[in-house]
Structure 1
Amino acid sequence: MRARVVRVAMIAVSVALVLFAVPLAILVWSSLLTEEQGEMERVALAAAVRVGPQFLTGDPVELPTAEADNTIGVYDLGGHLKSGHGPEIADDVVRQAYAGAAADGQAGADLVVAVPVSAAEHVNGVVRAAAPMSVVWARAFLAWSLLAALAGGALMVAVLIARRQARLLTGPLEDLSSASDRIAGGDLGARADPGDVPEISRVALAHNLMVDRLTQLLDRQSHFSADASHQLRTPLSGLLLELEAARTAPPADLPRILDDTARGVRDLSRTVEDLLALSRHHPERWFMAAPGTVADVLTGAEQRWHGPLAHEGRRLVMNIDPDIRDWPVPASLLTQIVDVLADNAARHGRGTVTLTARDTSGVLAIDVADEGAVRLDSADVFVRGASSGGGHGIGLALARTIAEAGGGRLTVTRRAPTTFTLYLPRLDDTA
């Protein structure tokens, strides 16, 4: 990627240099040629001033001293060299000057300028000044070499700038590619650095947001599996016991056992639906459960947990403030929370389990207490995966999640004896 960026930059700079240097080189050549012609013309004019009409009679002509390799000569109207240096017979450039105007051109390997010598408005002869073209070529090569050096320097600077820009452009892309490779390898915590390029930064932020959402989706799916296993374990055990009892029960007890089993299946179905709803939606969009009353929810919990606790030789006591028995609550949410807290008390607590429902300034407070003690820090009790008694650390984390979904709050109000308190607004207050 970096090599391609540098290569493209070099091609662009090279094309720009060629498009700029070629016309400039032509302009330099034209300028040097014009400058040399102008110099030759000044030399020829200076010589023409010194040439008088008497040169036609054979009088010597005193010509100015020419520079090395340059020649100056005077020609008569017959095209013959009368004085100085040059070809014995006038060339085409000299013949053009017989018309009365200066002429210039190239004769062989020389740059030639011819200036007419006039007297009384009549052309009496021509002064010819010549210089080797090699002088012009030498100056042109020197100028072109300087241009080539400047172009080479510009190209080197362009390469350095291109390499730096390539690092700036490809660095965030390489980081994004590396982050994608790590995510593909299972590292869902990998994130791309946004970088300093706005366009690439937006791509990186969109990539990170996509990974965050996918991670949340995977977490919810994983949590659903764990939550469903946790919440269905006890009801399934109860159903299994009911079915085992039905095998040996008298015929008169079968209708009751079947009714209890059907009710248990309906409860399991409702639990699965609730957990699916919780796993599929973001907390801000979690559903508001179907309403019920405080008495209905806690009475159902007493019926479900009285037997398992009694089997362990423990009591279940329920206290409901008469003024709140008929308060409307999100029944399925509250049922899930109370079952989690009761299961926690049955598995990790000791002694009597007490369910208490009370009014605290218009907010429903439900206490689930036992005679045990919480060994974990209060901050760690609701952390998923934290457990102090051989459990999976799922139940209390799920209970807090469900409580927050219904607009409530679940806390540890006493560590010993253990007391969990759920604060839940009345259903009509949250509507």
Structure 2
Amino acid sequence: MNQAQTQSKQALVLGAGIIGLCSAYYLQQAGYQVSVIEQEPEVGRQTSYANGAQLSYSYVAPLAAPGVLSQVPKWLLDPDAPMRLKPSLNPADICWGIHFARACNAAQSRQTTQELLSLSFFSRDLYHALFEEIQDVDFDRPGKLVVHREHAHFQAAVKQLEIQRALGCEQYALTTEECIEKEPALAPHRADIVGGIWTPSEEVVDSYKLCLALRKNLQQKGVTFLLNQRVQALVPTQAHRTAEQTVEVLLDNGSRLNADAIVVALGSFANELLRPLRINIPVAPLKGYSLTLQITDKKQAPYVSITDYERKVVYARIGERLRIAGMADRVGLDRSLDSRRLRTLINEAKKLFPGAGDLGHAEQWAGLRPATPKGKPIIDKTPYANLWLNVGHGALGLTLATGSGKLLAELVSAQASTIAPAAFRLDQA
């Protein structure tokens, strides 16, 4: 289907985070008349607001990996563990956990990594084109350094590096001194660092600023935004499901909207709308936390994006601010700020970069990462003729947003896909 054929077609995108906005961007580019529905008063106010800010194209290995299951008992007993699990008897949570456990093997981890790299490299090319059109979003290319404190973990990372090099990643193993040459702010921790993995291609961007810029860009192109509008339900248009059965959107205010394509890009909240349609997606929320502070001493703040591997904390400089992010809590849809988790994050930042800025006045935030068991997003059509999914990106939503939006638009408009879409079907999650 070419652009002329799609010119009169309508698309509704549910959700105005970075995934929904990129879906709208590429659907508009494909010729659709697009409307975006968002329950918040502004775009990008949920998971996209204060995430880790790193565009980590080469760091897409899934959470479901060999050795992870052996860590679960320790995480259950340690309130300060990087991952916290709240036991649940909910059948959906149990099912998610079983599928996650099955994915924790070397063969599946390698396959998932390869599939995600194809999507992340696609995203990288699209981002570079997008940033020619959209500026002032604190985009930069500082590279990324993952620092290791334990020899065993570093040696495992070197082995993973060899695998990823074979898949097209440019990465290098660095000694302690080479790590400090890359990021002088690490110098006080020379005795703690055994080595690091350097990836020069990695970038940063302020996700919220990008969302605002995309809204402005899309409005100038005729895309309509329905903000402060909550979707109450997706309603089948016929009593019995057939191959041509469609759905329409019912808003809280009673309005009903229909379109040739309806895209669900609601992250962790997608299940609430899809379950009544008997569409079960294996997406579970993993709550993460972040701190954002003004940099007061540039020499003591990192310029290079840093991941403290053992502590599972990431640092990214976005403009004149430092973003510190970490943790992964299975606590349902609770977005409240947990003071203990934030205190852990503050303490880690004080230890690594104590003079970077005033942590006492940092902006504190929590958001929900919509994770699938294998760690792959779902970019697929549902059994309903006009209903599509672009959900389940976990911690990689920002990194994969452009590639996911473009692939979704290619599928919706029946264009040839730039990358193989089969890996991101619902039945592959």
Same-fold call, TM cutoff 0.5? no
User: TM-score normalised to the size of structure 1?
Assistant: 0.19
Higher Cα Rg: structure 1 or 2? 1
- The structure carrying a bigger helix percent of its residues is 1
Higher relative contact order (CA 8 A, sep 6+): 2
User: TM-score normalised to the size of structure 2?
Assistant: 0.19
